[in-house]
């Protein structure tokens, strides 16, 4: 509990290097304690019923004390959103790094990352829903969430462009026409730069399909529809990879 310094939330704009004073150290710890308690509560009751008072209660402090650390309930929610995006992004990044280190092909990296992200979602359904489910009414996500939200997308883009560079991905021939120009923001196109027209749009679509497939399952729409959800997800993500032409050499036969 003492040396956990992997996170740098301080609750203030303090320099990230040295918690000089005892006060500063206590502040860092308590900020972490609060977000952790909030995360636990989120996991139980969902974002809509997340309550500052209940968080304070769990920590044995007055509800007003929480305001020394978060200016409002919304700010606490924002912290949880950022944390969730980061956790998902880190899962994706680590999974892909491991796969690369093991010499996996791009399609296998794609498979691994999809599974890892889905596993995370199943393990943390309310946190997942907080970021990829219906927006919390009356809450507007601030700018802080933009970068963490992009981490997972960046991993997928890297896999797609790596595959393209090796000649194992591209816009399949004989398919739907290319998209009109300038559909995407420049940042997004840049992620897939050099991979030719239509590739970025397809890459984005695979991302959307991944999130969509997880949501569909998590939100209960596969009940009475799919019997073997694990296998169906794996197959669906393989099939989605067709969009990027990543399965020329044949997937596993069933």
Partner DNA sequence: TGTACATCAGTGAACGCGCGTTCACTGATGTAC
Q: Residues in the site for its own copies, rule: CB under 8 A?
A: 45-46, 48-49, 126, 129, 132-138, 141, 146, 149, 172, 174-185, 187-188, 201-202, 204-205, 208-209, 211-213, 215-216, 219-221, 224-228, 231-232, 235-236, 238-243, 247-248, 250-254
Nearer to its own copies, 66 or 244 (CB): 244
- Among the listed residues 46, 67, 132, 242, the single contact to DNA using CB under 7 A: 67
**Token pair of 87 as six digits:** 């956790």
Residue 248's SS3 state is coil
Q: How far is the CB of 240 from DNA (least distance, A)?
A: 39
Min CB(129)–its own copies separation in Å = 4
Which of 37, 54, 141, 222 touches DNA (CB under 7 A)?
A: 54
- Our measurement of the distance from residue 226's CA atom to the centroid of its chain's CA atoms, rounded to an integer in Å, reads 25
Return the structure tokens found at 117. 């992200």
Residue 234 binds DNA, judged by CB under 7 A: no
Residue 26 binding: pick among its own copies, DNA, none (C-beta 5-8 Å cut-off by kind): DNA
At closest approach, how far in Å is the CB of 185 from DNA? 32
| Cα gap 154→200, rounded to integer Å | 12
**Contact present, 62 and 56 (Cβ < 8 Å):** yes
- Distance of alpha carbon 79 from alpha carbon 39, whole angstroms: 10
Contact 219, 250 (CB under 8 A): no
CA–CA dist 242, 170 (Å, integer): 10
Q: Please tell me what DSSP assigns to residue 227.
A: S
State the Cα–Cα distance between residues 88 and 118, nearest whole angstrom.
10
| Residue 208, binding choice from its own copies, DNA, none, Cβ under 5 to 8 Å by partner class | its own copies
Distance of CA 66 to the CA centre of its chain: 27
Q: Map residues 70-109 to x or -, x wherever contact with DNA holds by CB under 7 A.
A: --xxx-----------------------------------
In the list 15, 16, 48, 65, the residue contacting DNA (rule: CB under 7 A) is 65
Nearest to 91 by CA among 42, 151, 131: 151
CB–CB of 80/38 below 8 Å? yes
221 touches, from DNA, its own copies, none (C-beta below 5 to 8 Å by class): its own copies
Interface residue with DNA among 7, 26, 44, 178 (CB under 7 A) is 26
**What does the binding site for DNA look like in residue numbers (CB under 7 A)?**
20-24, 26-27, 30, 50-54, 60-65, 67-69, 72-74
């Amino acid at each position: 509990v003492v040396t956990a310094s992997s996170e740098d939330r301080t609750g203030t704009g303090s320099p990230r290097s040295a918690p000089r004073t005892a006060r500063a150290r206590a502040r860092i710890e308590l900020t972490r304690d609060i977000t952790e308690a909030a995360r636990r509560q989120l996991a139980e009751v969902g974002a809509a019923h997340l309550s500052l008072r209940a968080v304070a209660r769990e920590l044995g402090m007055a509800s007003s004390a929480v305001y020394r650390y978060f200016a409002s309930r919304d700010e606490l929610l924002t912290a949880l959103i950022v944390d969730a995006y980061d956790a998902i992004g880190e899962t994706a990044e680590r999974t892909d790094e491991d796969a690369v280190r093991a010499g996996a092909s791009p399609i296998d990296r794609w498979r691994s990352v999809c599974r890892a992200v889905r596993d995370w979602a199943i393990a943390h359904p309310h946190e997942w829903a907080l970021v990829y489910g219906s927006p919390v009414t009356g809450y507007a996500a601030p700018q802080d969430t933009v970068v963490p939200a992009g981490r997972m997308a960046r991993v997928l883009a890297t896999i797609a462009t790596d595959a393209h560079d090796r000649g194992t991905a591209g816009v399949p021939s004989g398919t739907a026409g290319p998209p009109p120009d300038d559909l995407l923001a420049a940042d997004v196109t840049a992620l897939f730069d050099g991979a030719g027209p239509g590739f970025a749009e397809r890459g984005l679509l695979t991302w959307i399909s991944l999130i969509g497939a997880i949501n569909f399952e998590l939100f209960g729409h596969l009940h009475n529809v799919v019997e073997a959800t694990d296998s169906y997800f794996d197959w669906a993500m393989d099939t989605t990879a067709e969009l990027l032409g990543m399965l020329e050499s044949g997937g596993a036969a069933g």
